[in-house]
Amino acid sequence: MTAKSIIATLNDVNQTLQVSNKIQGLPTIKARCGCQIKDYIAELCQLAKQEGQVQGKFNDIKFIINKADTIEQALKNWDTLRQIAVDKYQQSPEYKASFKQSLIDLANKKEKLKKLMVEFETLDWQSFEKILSWLYSISYIADDMNITVDIDTILGSFKVNHFHANANLNKDFRPDDKDNVARYIIGQAIDGFEKMGCPHSVILSHIKAWQEKAWDTGIVVKDLI
C-alpha cells in the first residue's frame, strides 16, 4: 500500500474516530525511525496527560489521543484506522490492478525458478562465470517470501562441489585475484541461503562488479567491497 493511497482513504473515516488530519494545532511527538507503535503511543499518552489532547502520525495514519485514553484504547483506535485504510485501499482500482499484476509476476517467478533449478542440475562447477550468473538470477526469486526454494538441494550441491559459506574473509581476501573474489562472493551467497533462505541483497552488486571488472587491467567499474 502506498502512503498516498492510505492518506486518501482516511478522508471518509467516521468522525467518531477523531482522525487528526481534520484537527490543527494539537501538540504532537514525531515517531522515531524504528520505533514500535505501542512505544510511540505510550509517549503520546504521557503527553496527553499534560496537554489534554495530542495528535500522532504512524505509518501515515493520523490519529488523536485524549487525556483519559489508556495506551490500550489508543492502540486499538490506531489499529481501527489502519484497518479501515487497508480495507478501503483493497477495494480501489489501484489495488485491484496491483494485485492482478502481482499474481502475474509471481507466476512468472515460479516458472523462472523451475528453469533455474533444471539449469542447476547441469551447472558447470568449473566456471565461476556460470555459477555467479546462476546466483544472480536465483537471488531475485529467492528473496520473494511467496516463493519456496529448495534450499537443501542448493546448499548440498555447493558443498559437494567444495564451496562453503564465508570463504576468503579478512586476510584471505585478495581483491585483485579473480578466482579468490569469486569464491568470496559465492561464500557470501551460501551464508545468505543458510541464514535467511536467500542470498544477501548486496550479492547482486558484488556479482555485477565482478562481471564488469577488467581483471587483466585491474580497472573496476564499480567498487566491490
* DSSP string for residues in 1-60: --HHHHHHHGGGS-GGG--GGG--S--B-PPPTT--HHHHHHHHHHHHHHHSEEEEEETT
In what helix (H) or strand (E) does residue 176 lie, and over which residues does it extend? none
Residues 166 and 122 in one domain: yes
The pLDDT tens digits along the chain (225 residues) read 444 444 444 443 333 333 333 345 899 999 988 899 999 999 999 999 999 999 999 999 999 999 999 999 999 999 999 999 999 999 999 999 999 999 999 999 999 999 999 999 999 999 999 999 999 999 989 989 899 999 999 999 999 999 999 999 999 999 999 999 999 999 999 999 999 999 988 999 999 999 998 786 554 444 444
Total domain count, the chain? 2
Q: Specify if 223 maps to a domain.
A: no
Q: Are 68 and 53 in contact (CB under 8 A)?
A: no
Q: Specify if 203 maps to a domain.
A: yes
Q: Specify if 224 maps to a domain.
A: no
Q: Which domain holds residue 29?
A: 3-91
Residues 48 and 124 in one domain: no
Q: Angle at the Cα of 212 (from 210 to 218), degrees rounded to 5?
A: 80
Q: Specify if 217 maps to a domain.
A: no
Residues 87 and 111 in one domain: no
Residues 79 and 112 in one domain: no
Residues 57 and 84 in one domain: yes
Instruction: Give the position of cell 487525556.
Output: 67
Distance CA 216, CA 219 (A): 8
Rg (CA), the chain: 25
